[in-house]
DNA sequence: ATCCTACAATGGACAGAGTCCAAGTCAAGA
DNA sequence: TCTTGACTTGGACTCTGTCCATTGTAGGAT
């Protein structure tokens, strides 16, 4: 993820230890942490980091398109570092586990013009629901 | 919507003025009100109705399958009386307007087995994003 | 028509998620 | 090294939703 840090520096980001640990925490596949989970993990490396800074940094990463916001339930938003390859989510109704999935085909193709009500439709998010192997 | 009230009475629901106005407020097509919007409209007819009762009643209607919960943003949940005919949602990124849409095809068909990670997949919610005619 | 009581409504305290702000700190260019 | 505007901080605040002890009432029983 140091390529991410490089890109951000290039965009004029002032590099701070707080931003570094937040970016480090948000690394890996199938990572979908809440802001408070990010804060807890960041605080293991940098105990005095504040909640406000985590929220600020996540918001900036989202605005820059480096991280995607995901809300699969009515609870806290989750932050997804896998923002460059578009994908959808498969959520376990039992335990809440989230996997990245790549459906075939384009969901937009399934929305005919007369179902668009004059909207300019630009994207679609799909949440698949089911039970994971442990919960089934 | 008096058919709804009939159905509920048949299920042993005790009929109160509060439940009646909540059910009345939740009538129509493309209706996706937040709990507080439901409360505000219900209070126009029954000024002393409490927020807690609105939340209780909405929760019961959802449990009975008469109303669907929809969360299209990270904000308040919305309550959708159109729960009997399955449908998806088209949301304006500008003003938040929500329309019911019926895409062709089954989204589940687009999720191949090797993308299911052993989950038992039972459903899919699709949120289409775009700009409505006024916002475009 | 009245009584009874289990179920429902109420309002206020509480909790979770997120935003805002004034004051203090510091990264990095001069 | 100095300077300064960007960044961080903690706490207050908002919004959404839940919980609970108390009070009220729908509807069956008499
Ligand atoms: Mn993801
Ligand atoms: Mn709907
Ligand atoms: Zn599970
Ligand atoms: Zn609009």
Angle between helices B35-45 and B51-63 (to 10 degrees): 120
Same domain, A40 and A21: yes
pLDDT interval class at A18 (50, 70, 90): very high
Q: Name the 3-class secondary structure at A32.
A: coil
For residue B51, being part of any structural domain is answered with yes
Give me the CATH number covering residue A115: 3.30.1490.190
**Contact map slice: A 99-128 vs B, CB within 8 A:** 99, 101-105, 107-108, 110-112, 115-128
Among A122, A123, A126, beta carbon nearest to B107: A126
Rounded to whole angstroms, how far apart are CA atoms B61 and A47?
A: 45
Nearest CA among B37, B117, B102 for reference residue A114: B102
For residue A73, give both structure tokens: 């339930």
Give the domain-ending residue among B80, B98, B115.
Answer: B80
pLDDT in tens, A37-92: 999 999 999 999 999 999 999 999 999 999 999 999 989 999 999 999 999 999 99
Same domain, A28 and A75: yes
pLDDT in tens, B59-89: 999 999 999 999 999 899 999 999 999 999 9
Give residue B121 CA to ligand 4 midpoint distance, Å: 33
Give the structural domain span for B116.
88-130
Same domain, A98 and A54: no
Q: Name the 3-class secondary structure at B123.
A: strand
Q: Which residues contact A94 (CB under 8 A, 6 or more apart)?
A: A131, A132, A134, A135, A136
Contact residues, chain A, for B112 at CB < 8 Å: 103-104
For residue B7, give both structure tokens: 């159905």
Q: Which residues contact B23 (CB under 8 A, 6 or more apart)?
A: B1, B4, B5, B8, B57, B61
Give the domain-ending residue among A64, A80, A96.
Answer: A80
According to the model, what pLDDT value does residue B70 have? Answer: 97
Same domain, B17 and B75: yes
For residue B17, give both structure tokens: 């003025």
CB contact at 8 A, B31 and B78: no
Shortest distance, CA B37 to any CA of chain A (angstroms) = 17
Give me the CATH number covering residue A7: 1.10.10.10
Query: What does pLDDT average to over chain A?
Result: 95
Measure A113 CA to D5 C1' (Å).
50
Strands across the sheet with A98-101, in order?
A98-101, A88-92, A120-131, B120-131, B88-92, B98-101
Q: Name the 3-class secondary structure at A1.
A: coil
Number of A–B residue contacts, CB under 8 Å: 129
Same domain, A113 and A97: yes
CB contact under 8 A, A101 and B111: yes
Same domain, B18 and B76: yes
For residue A72, being part of any structural domain is answered with yes
Give residue A99 CA to ligand 3 midpoint distance, Å: 11
**Contact map slice: A 26-55 vs B, CB within 8 A:** none
Nearest CA in chain B to A126: B126
Among A77, A104, A121, beta carbon nearest to B74: A77
pTM summary value: 0.93
DSSP H helical ranges for chain B:
2-10, 17-25, 35-45, 51-63
Give residue A99 CA to ligand 1 midpoint distance, Å: 7
Residue nearest to nucleotide C29 (CA to C1'): A14
Q: Kindly determine whether the C-beta of residue A85 is less than 7 Å away from any atom of nucleic acid strand D.
A: no
Same domain, A54 and A120: no
């Amino acid at each position: 993820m140091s390529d991410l840090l490089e890109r951000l520096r290039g965009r004029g980001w002032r590099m701070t230890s707080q931003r570094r640990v937040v970016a480090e925490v948000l690394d890996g596949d199938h990572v979908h942490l809440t802001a408070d989970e990010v804060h807890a993990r960041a605080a293991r490396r940098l105990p005095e980091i504040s909640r406000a800074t985590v929220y600020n940094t996540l918001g900036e990463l989202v605005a820059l398109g480096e991280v995607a916001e995901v809300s699969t339930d009515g609870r806290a938003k989750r932050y997804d570092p896998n923002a460059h390859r578009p994908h959808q989510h498969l959520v376990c109704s039992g335990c809440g586990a989230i996997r990245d999935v790549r459906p075939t085909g384009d969901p937009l193709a399934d929305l005919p013009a007369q179902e668009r009500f004059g909207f300019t439709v630009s994207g679609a998010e799909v949440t698949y629901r089911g039970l994971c192997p442990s919960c089934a």
